[in-house]
């Protein structure tokens, strides 16, 4: 076991422990990455149909323990930003509409209005 984590060479599996140090969840990184990719595309495909988006979320949250789902949701969101949102924003900007300043303002407003310090 090592005290450092290399994000470019992650372990193939890891355990999530509770405050008492007892393992609560076992996560295989390959399965997590595959699940996150599937969740990302299912959510992206449901965009614009709130009922479908809710159905996707309900299906995934009901199939996994809370610890796994937390990692799954974080991974899917990261992939969504990198693989769906960024290329979409690039394409829209190439067409002459830059949405990024508005998104930055919305993020700043959310931090100011909803509070930060939770990261």
Residue 17 lies in a domain: no
Closest by Cα among 89, 78, 92, 97 to 70: 78
Q: How far is CA 50 from CA 42, 47, 54, 74, 90, in A?
A: 13, 7, 6, 20, 25
Give the pLDDT score at 29.
92
Residue 16 lies in a domain: no
Enumerate residue ranges in the chain where pLDDT < 70. 1-3, 116-119
Residue 88 lies in a domain: yes
Is residue 84 within 8 Å of residue 44, measured between CB atoms?
yes
Give the pLDDT score at 7.
74
Backbone angles phi, psi at 63, to 5 degrees: -100, -5
Residue 11 lies in a domain: no
Residue 14 lies in a domain: no
Q: For residue 68, how many other CB atoms are within 10 A of its CB?
A: 19
Q: If DSSP codes are grouped into helix, strand and coil, which group holds residue 116?
A: coil
Give the pLDDT score at 1.
47
pLDDT digits (tens, 9 = 90+) for 55-84: 999 999 999 988 899 999 999 999 999 999
Residue 44 lies in a domain: yes
Q: How many domains does the chain have?
A: 1
Predicted TM-score (pTM) of the model is 0.82
Residue 28, beta-bridge partner list: 13
Give the pLDDT score at 118.
59
Give the pLDDT score at 100.
98
Residue 91 lies in a domain: yes
Domain that residue 59 falls in: 29-114
């Amino acid at each position: 076991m090592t005290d450092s984590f290399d994000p470019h060479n992650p372990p193939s599996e890891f355990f999530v422990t509770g405050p008492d140090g007892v393992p609560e969840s076992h996560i295989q990184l390959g399965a997590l990455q595959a699940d996150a990719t599937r969740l990302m595309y299912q959510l992206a495909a449901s965009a614009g149909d709130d009922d479908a988006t809710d159905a996707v979320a309900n299906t995934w949250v009901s199939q996994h323990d809370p610890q796994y789902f937390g990692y799954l949701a974080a991974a899917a969101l990261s992939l969504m930003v990198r693989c769906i949102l960024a290329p979409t924003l690039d394409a829209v900007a190439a067409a002459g509409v830059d949405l990024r300043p508005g998104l930055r303002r919305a993020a700043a407003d959310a931090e100011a209005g909803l509070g930060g310090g939770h990261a």
